[in-house]
Amino acid sequence: MRSSVFVLLAGIAVVANAAAPTTEQEMAGVLGHDAECVAYGLPLTSNLGTAFPATDAPRTITDVRNDTEGLKKFQSIQGSIPNIPIKTPGIAYDSAKDPDCWWTTSNCVTPKLAGLKPDIYQAPEPRTLGYGFDDGPACDHNEFYNFLGSKNQKATMFYIGIYVIWFPLQAQRAAADGHEICVHTWSHGNMTQLSNESAFAELWYTIKAIKLVTGLTPTCWRPPHGDVDDRIRFIAQSLNLDTIMWRYDSFDWANGQLGQTPQTIQGNYDKLINDAKSGVLNNNGAIILTHELSNFTMQLAIDNYPKFVDAFDHIVPVGIAMNKTQPYAETTVTFPSFNDYVAQRGGKTTSTNSTGTPSGNTSNNTGNKSGGSASQSGGANPTKPSGASAGLALRPSLGLALFGAIIAGVFSC
């Protein structure tokens, strides 16, 4: 979740750089924000035609009319989608009765509609942390992923669909490193504000993007801003997606807004750590909301990892916490059970005193996400990185030709 000034450079033509990485392994060896975030073009994601929505900027997808398979799937569930009103901004809603299990107003995680799975918001095992990061793949996450790899630590990565298309090699790294990949929608908007077909499309095209790039079909998702109700849960479940929420919010995305400072954000981490040490999590573990978003958020994760190791018995991806041994539709990929994962690590997550430094943009991206309050912002409108101010360094060797207008706005995701 971030909000900062962006510059949209319309009509960018990119001439491929001969030195640009073309494989996941090559990309994983690139370090430093300026080097990692140079635009590169892969045939896999550069010539999509009408197979995907426009990829010049994240926009809410309105329908799946250009996707024969997607349209057929949507039409097969359309008549069964619950008749729950779209949550337009300012809608009159009985939060006390909360008939739709609308998390935004009530933090409801147990659907009111029969047949829907409960949201996953905590680890069922005591003193266990369900570990994951939203808003990836970040173009500059290599140092952070290197850190996780050095600790043999797997996590759950909630990926934004258009970012997967923009940064396919970075997305492939998550799969290569053995992380669990889940859906975080195509454009990171408020899902309950969308029509049935639009909400379906946001999930459908993100699943499709992850499958195209990694060969894996995810079976989990997290709603941006936590904005979900039983209508959206039904659509997600119809696509074989488990809904994953959180029990603790680091508010790492909100640095500089909502009263959050680096000190208060560290205090949010400390609250979880202290609860784990004091016995609050002795019956059930926790899931914390954190982000693969900026140097600030990734460095916080690195700094707090040894503290998590000290406080928790186990730190595991959410799927493993739930004993989900088949995390994807592809049966050729399996995860160990919780007990097997723990046993492989000698009964406890490997401790470490070492540190690392992510190579992301040193600016602190901020956001306006409410993390459970009723005053959530509207849908996000991130813009394709196209210059240093947008978090993407462009080298002259790329031979960029700029056409059209330069448009200023606000980046919020």
E strand or H helix at 180, and its extent? strand 180-183
Residue 56 annotated among the catalytic residues of the structure: no
Whether the bond between 327 and the residue before it is cis, its omega within 30 degrees of 0, is no
d(CA 135, CA 149): 19
Kindly give the pairing relationship between strand 314-316 and strand 128-130: parallel
Are the beta carbons of 359 and 107 closer than 8 angstroms? Answer: no
CA distances from residue 244 to 182, 278, 317 in whole angstroms, order as listed? 9, 25, 12
Residue with tokens 């954190």: 290
Write out the DSSP string of 40-98: ---HHHH--TTSS---SS-------TT-HHHHHHHHHHHTTS-------TT----TTT-
Residue 188 annotated among the catalytic residues of the structure: no
Q: Which residues contact 249 (CB under 8 A, 6 or more apart)?
A: 268, 288, 289, 371, 372
Q: Is 49 exposed, middle or buried (0-12, 13-18, 19+ CB in 10 A)?
A: exposed
Instruction: Pick the catalytic residue from 134, 140, 249, 252.
Output: 134
d(CA 68, CA 9): 32
d(CA 77, CA 362): 45
CB atoms within 10 A of CB 85: 12
DSSP label of 401:
B
d(CA 194, CA 189): 9
**Integer-rounded Cα radius of gyration of the chain:** 20
DSSP label of 346:
T
Instruction: Pick the catalytic residue from 33, 184, 291, 314.
Output: 291
d(CA 228, CA 103): 6
Show which residues are catalytic: 134, 291
